[in-house]
Structure 1
Amino acid sequence: PAKIDNIKKTAAILAAALSMDKKELEAKFTSGKSFVWIKRRMDFAEAEKARRLNMPGLGFVKEGKRFYPKPHIASHLIGFVGLDSKGLEGIELGYDEYMAGVSARRTDERDALGNEILFSNADKEASRGKSLILTVDKTIQYIAEKELLKVVSNANAKGGMVIVMAPKTGEILAMANAPQFNPDIFFEYNNPNMWRNKAVADAFEPGSTFKAFVLAALFEEGAARPGDLFFCENGNYVVADRTFHDVKKFGWLSLEQVIKYSSNIGAAKAGDRLGRERLYRYIKDFGFGAKTGSGIPGEAGGSVPPLKQWSKVALGNISFGQGLSTTGIQLLSAFSAIANKGYLMKPYVVKKIVNEKGDAIEEFRPSVVRRVISEETANRVTGILKQVTEKDGTGAKAAIEGFEVAGKTGTAQKPDLSQGGYTADKYVSSFIGFAPADNPEIAILVAVDEPSGEFYGGAIAAPVFKEIASQTLSYLGVFPKGLKENKSYKTYMTYSDTHTAFDDGGGDLSHMPDLKGKTVRSVLRLTREIPLEVKIAGSGKAIYQKPLPGERIAQGQTAEVWFK
């Protein structure tokens, strides 16, 4: 600023050239500082325009800028950097010290007039920042985000989340939030909640998904056996000054049916049989009320009421997932312990940190937190959770043809923060599950916040689980039950390899042709005249198809063909 002769004139010219406020520039020039930034992160054309002004005192500095080539993919997880390329949210914030690098520093010596007479070698050598290799798979992430955005839009919901985890290792394969945001222009969003990673930062009541953990505790403690009966009071159960309700008026239900049909009253009675001390211990052992240690910034720990606050009503409420809160990552981590034969794994998202040469300087591996339940108990619980996705179970819409799916629906009323109690019309609709049930490759949580109209987890979230799980299993090369699997082969789902077939007036278009042994090109040609969308998985020759040969085709139906 000291080199500027006419402050007002200079401010006016620069304001016009750079679309800035003249008064703001005058304030910068009269601040008394020896150096001030005029404008940063200018594009090349704008910088050249300012350079051509050839004004005294005006200098230019090249700065690096983080660029996100696929900005919406995993944006809440990755986060973003600020003006100085310093991490402000997400992984960018949590691992900023690794990725930032170090600038060179030098010492200058000057004479009495301020002229440089000597500078030494750099006191500190510059080094490039490290790179992170994540556990997230971009294809699975794409699948999760695509299906989540679809249900949020169709249900006119406030938002939602999806997490996909490898239950045997704790690796996070996908973490999606809706609505999305673009980290390249984060500053254009007025509401910081737009970039909040709700999958780890927001706590919510788990609802009926929590019944799976009560079931596990019952079996582990020997407090119940398969086939035990519970009277569900025909839909209304008075406990102290409260009345618990079921959606349907159930009489006697077996323990399996309590879970399959999601009876709140049956769950409350099961929790009462277990007792508050034992249930509290298992809740804590499954990891509720504490952060998972995932390394993802902003993770909350949820809340579990102190044992001294557990009245008989509280015990009942907690047994069907009310009165405590959890995060998405915490809930999926706990559920994955059932899938993993009783072992609770620490979830993680950073696989390794590498230097500029690509050499790993730090690696992260699967870590067992503790064994929560025995393998026998885990198998028993899994068997009952498989019944949830049977035709008459609450999670029937999560069923995948050719696979056994274990899971649990959840429909949780949201607390009324202003009046107390619970809202009458705001819900978190969820489904949590794993597949294949007896040898799980993936565990998935789907939660939809405040859907309009239909709100039951089995109707809203379960179909999303089905879509994500079926596409992910196909991508991972996990084939339907009964289909011979080649371990050396991996399926790759290419989303450009889908087309909608159409009827041009010829041939039998009402039944599915036999595609076995045909090439991808042949399949696409043969199905071009059929009124359905065809999804292609893999390459080579067709080995399996849905619908099966000869099955009747409905208008707008989707067909899937696996190749090897």
Structure 2
Amino acid sequence: MVISVFAVRLFQIQGIDAQAYVARAEAEGVVTVELPATRGSITDRNGVPLAESVDGLMLVADPTMTKPHASEIATIIARRLSVDYFEVLSRLRKPDTRFQYLARRVPSTLANEVLDEIKARGFSGVDTRRDPVRDYPARDVGANLVGFMNDLGKAAEGAELMFDPMLSGVDGSATYETGGGNRIPLGDNEVVAPRSGHDLALTIDRDVQWYTQRVLRTTVTNAGGDSGSAIVLDTRTGEALAVADYPTFDPNDPSSATKGNLSSRAIRDAYEPGSVNKVLTMAALLDQGLVTPQTKITVPPVLPRSDRVIHDYFVHDTLHLTLTGVIAKSSNIGTVLAADQIKDKTYYRYLKAFGLGSRTGVGVEGESAGVLPDFHDWLPIQKDTISFGQGVAVSALQMAAAVNTIANGGVYVQPSLVKGTATTSTGETVGSATSTTRRVISEKAARQVTGMMEAVTDLDEGTAPSAAIPGYRVAGKTGTAQRVGAKCGCYDGTFTVSFAGFAPADDPRFLVYVVVQNPAGGGGGSVGGPAFNKIMTHVLQKYAVPPTGSVAPAPRVEW
């Protein structure tokens, strides 16, 4: 009978009420503490940190000891750390537990000051544990690419979010027995060590990124624009040395920025590129052998097409231009007349090969693919407008990579933001080591387009003499495009202005693309040209790229 009673009781403890007794035992004498992993750093191409984990502490409590003075302790913590008083108070009074988190990721100095104040008041039961804090030493430099961690310690934007599994590592834990509020030295304990995250190297150069951002900020504000982007590419590798956006933010204090400024406009926003697209049109025509740079074009004052009338940005009588002159003077009418010679399907194929209508695949969440309507759906007027950059939409990075194809001898090189390789949160492997290439136009056609673009920066004939750099041959193209208003869904009288160019033109090393949205005045030459000049000059000097010593042939723009 006695044995039967014990058997029933044992069955009740082990079978029916097992979990309840385990929970009670853990509440009374077993504590499990998280051991945070150290998050990997994000660096520039030279290993300079853009995001890193620095020493920090968490404040923790044993509610069995803090309950008598919970209100006083909560007041100190809420005042010093700007956390919610009632949330802390609730944790300090939590029943049936000996461990509660009070505050996470607190700078070490501040956490120790708070703990000292609590102890000085004679209160016990509060302690600290290691808890790394995320810091962004470069502040706003590259912020739109790097991203940030939110108040909950979760990745919220940029590389922090896209490469979170790689960066975050795996937290560990420590479980041990306690008695009388203290850890039992010889009690059972178990430790699972944390695994630190991996570092991530971006292709950007912090110095170039810093300078590009400062030039962009000055350009946008002086032009009275809403926003802007600027990109610097290594012509040969496609690596981005700078991807700048303005306005931007400080990832150490993301809450002070508006939502629209937290991501990269250069990668996520799509807009109509305007006349920069003319160089792609000319590249297709030249590659097909349908024209030469000296092909003669008679440009009337206006050009009726279907039910529309196409104008140039400047008023003129009938002009007699070469195709080089069409690019130098940025004539919409001349471009449309030249584009008549290429079939819709062929032209569409070239634009797709230049990367329009497709994401670059650099590993940024929400990257825009732009808009390139299928040629089967084109209206009679649509190829005309696309030829001079309206009716098609691109991201700044997408357009920079397209123009870089011309600089790279006709070979498209996939742009990259990650140095080497890395795996995104969606499982995609990206990076400079995985970058692909494809030939789009012949080397001869690329040289011809380059020569035509050099006429743009010619002091006498071109639309952007301010982009010229003394001692260097510079190829470039201005862009001014109407913008579609968000409210009306129509062209609302605002504009996008831009300038894309590369140098040295006869041995390209870098490409710079500057875009400004809705400036109060000025076009791609007067707004984007000077910004290009400053950024390109800085990059050429930093990387010690000497002039080639050759002289560009005098362009023939009229016949």
Asked if these proteins are the same fold (TM beyond 0.5), I'd say yes
- In the alignment, the residues of structure 2 paired with residue 49 and residue 108 of structure 1 have an alpha-carbon distance, to the nearest angstrom, of 26
**Is 2:118 the counterpart of 1:53?**
yes
Query: Does structure 1 residue 422 correspond to structure 2 residue 491?
Result: yes
Conserved 8 A contact 1:388-1:408: yes
Cα drift, residue 420 of structure 1: 2.7
1:157 deviates by: 1.8
Looking at structure 2, the residues matched to 221 and 450 of structure 1 have their Cα atoms a distance apart, in angstroms, of 36
The answer for the alignment partner of 1:255 in structure 2 is 323
Task: Please list the CA deviations of residues 169-196 of structure 1 after superposition, one character each: whole Å capped at 9, or x if unmatched.
Answer: 111111111123111111222x111221
Q: For the pair shown, which has the larger CA radius of gyration, 1 or 2?
A: 2
Q: Secondary structure, in 3 states, of the residue corresponding to 1:61?
A: strand
Q: Distance in 2 between matches of 1:19 and 1:104?
A: 28
> 1:475 maps to which residue?
542
Distance 2:91 2:154 in 1: 24
With over 3 angstroms needed to count, the CA separation of the structure-2 counterparts of 1:373 and 1:32, relative to structure 1, is farther
Q: Report the 3-state secondary structure (helix = DSSP H, G, I; strand = E; otherwise coil) of the residue aligned with 2:419.
A: strand
Q: Using the alignment, how far apart are the partners of 2:178 and 2:83 within structure 1? A: 36
SS in 2 for 1:322: coil
1:92 correspondence with 2:160: yes
Q: Are 2:436 and 1:368 equivalent residues in the alignment?
A: yes
Three-state SS of the structure 2 residue aligned to 1:479 is: coil
Q: Secondary structure at the match of 1:404?
A: coil
Note the 1:268-283 alignment, pairs <5 A: 268-283=336-351
Match of 1:397 in 2: 466
What SS is found at the alignment partner of 2:497? Answer: strand
Structure 1 residues 421 and 134, CA, compared in 2 at 3 Å: closer, same or farther?
A: same
Does structure 1 conserve the Cα–Cα contact (< 8 Å) formed by 2:363 and 2:430?
no
Give SS of 1:480's match.
coil
User: Would the alpha carbon gap of residues 103 and 272 (structure 1) be closer, same or farther in structure 2, given more than 3 Å must change?
Assistant: same
Q: Quote the residue 1:135 is aligned against.
A: 203
1:133, distance to aligned residue in structure 2 (A)? 2.7
1:237 aligns with 2:303: yes
Q: 1:372 to 1:413 in 2, by over 3 A?
A: same
Query: Are the counterparts in 1 of residues 266 and 396 from structure 2 also a CA contact under 8 Å?
Result: yes
CA change 1:96–1:21 in 2 (3 A) is closer
Q: Which range is displaced more, 193-202 or 1-10?
A: 1-10
Q: CA deviation at 1:238?
A: 1.8
Matched-pair contact (CA < 8 Å) for 1:90–1:298: no
Q: Structure 1: where are the runs of 5+ without partners?
A: 355-360, 484-564
Distance in 1 separating the partners of 2:327 and 2:375:
25
| Higher deviation after alignment, 239-248 or 332-341 | 239-248
The answer on whether the counterparts of 2:239 and 2:432 sit within 8 Å (CA) in structure 1 is: no
Q: SS where residue 365 of structure 1 aligns? A: helix
Alpha-carbon distance change, 221 to 30 in structure 1, aligned in 2, over 3 angstroms: farther
SS in 2 for 1:237: strand
Report matched runs for 1:314-393 at 5 Å: 314-352=382-420, 364-365=432-433, 367-391=435-459, 392-393=461-462
Q: CA separation in 2, counterparts of 1:17 and 1:459?
A: 51
Residue 211 of structure 1 and its aligned partner are, at CA, apart by 0.4
- CA offsets 1:341-369 (integer angstroms, 9 cap, x no match): 11111111222379xxxxxx998437333
CA gap of 1:33–1:444, structure 2 versus 1, over 3 A, is farther
Letter in 1 for 2:478: T
Whether 1:218 and 2:288 are equivalent positions in the alignment is no
In the other structure, the counterpart of 2:26 is none
- Superposed displacement of residue 297, structure 1: 3.7
Counterpart CA distance in 1 for 2:218 and 2:238 is 27
How many Å apart are 1:273 and its aligned residue?
2.1
The 1:33/1:482 distance shift into structure 2, 3 A limit, reads farther
Residue matched to 1:152 = 220
Aligned to 1:307: 375
Q: How far 1:264 moved relative to its partner?
A: 1.0
Question: What does 1:184-223 correspond to in 2, within 5 Å?
Answer: 184-189=252-257, 191-223=258-290
Distance in 2 separating the partners of 1:275 and 1:69: 53
> Displacement of 1:323 after TM fit?
0.9
Aligned AA for 1:255? L
Q: Deviations over 1:188-247 (max 9, x none)?
A: 22x11122111111111110000000001111112222322333321x222122221112
In structure 1, C-alpha distance between the alignment counterparts of 2:294 and 2:352, rounded to whole Å: 27
Shift of 1:390: 0.7
Secondary structure at 1:400 match in 2: coil
Partner of 1:164 in structure 2? 232
**2:344, 2:383 within 8 Å by CA — same for their partners in 1?**
yes
Separation of aligned partners in 1, 2:346 and 2:93: 70
Q: Give the aligned residue type for 1:40.
A: R
- Contact 1:205–1:326 (CA under 8 A) maintained in structure 2: yes
Counterpart Cα distance in 2 of 1:142 and 1:8: 47
Matched, 1:38 2:102: yes
> 2:194 aligns to what?
126
SS of 1:334's partner is: helix
Whole-angstrom CA distance in 1 between matches of 2:247 and 2:416? 24
Match 1:295 to one of 363, 372, 376: 363
Give secondary structure in 2 for the equivalent of 1:437: coil
Secondary structure of 1:470's aligned partner = helix
Q: Report the CA distance shift for 1:278/1:411 in structure 2 as closer, same or farther (over 3 A).
A: same
Q: Alpha-carbon deviation of 1:101?
A: 2.5
Distance 1:115 1:139 in 2: 50
User: Partners of 2:103 and 2:375 in 1: how far apart?
Assistant: 57
The 2-side partners of 1:388 and 1:143 are apart by 25
The alpha carbon displacement at 1:416 in A equals 1.9
* 2:237 maps to amino acid: T
1:23 Cα offset (Å)? 4.2
Higher relative contact order (CA 8 A, sep 6+): 2
Amino acid at match of 2:243: M
For 2:450 and 2:80, the matched residues in 1 are separated by 67
Residue pair 2:220, 2:227 contacting (<8 A) in 1 also: yes
**Aligned-partner SS, 2:266:** helix
**Unmatched 5+ stretches in structure 2:** 1-61, 423-428, 551-559
Give secondary structure in 2 for the equivalent of 1:304.
Answer: coil
Whether the 8 Å contact between 1:132 and 1:352 is mirrored in structure 2 is no
For the pair 1:246 / 2:312, whether they are aligned, the reply is yes
State the 1:86 CA deviation. 4.0
Deviation at residue 29 of structure 1 after TM alignment: 5.8
In the superposition, the TM-score normalised over structure 1's length comes to: 0.77
Question: 2: CA distance between counterparts of 1:439 and 1:332?
Answer: 18
Q: Distance in 1 between matches of 2:311 and 2:283?
A: 23
8 A contact 1:345–1:366 mirrored in 2: no
* 1:494 corresponding residue in structure 2: none
**Partner-residue secondary structure (3-state), 1:82:** coil
Pair 1:196–1:167, CA change in 2 (3 A): same
Deviations 1:7-61 (A, max 9, x none): 6565456545555554454555678795654333434345523453244554433
Equivalent of 2:353 in 285, 299, 307: 285
Change (3 A) 1:456 1:31: farther
Q: What RMSD over aligned residues (CA atoms) do the two structures have, in Å?
A: 2.9
Determine the C-alpha separation between the residues in 2 that align with 1:180 and 1:324. 27
Query: 2: distance between equivalents of 1:169 and 1:448?
Result: 26
The residue identity in structure 1 corresponding to 2:545 is V
Question: Does the Cα contact within 8 Å between 2:418 and 2:430 map onto a contact in 1?
Answer: no
SS at match of 1:60: strand
Q: Could you say which residue in structure 2 is the equivalent of 1:491? A: none
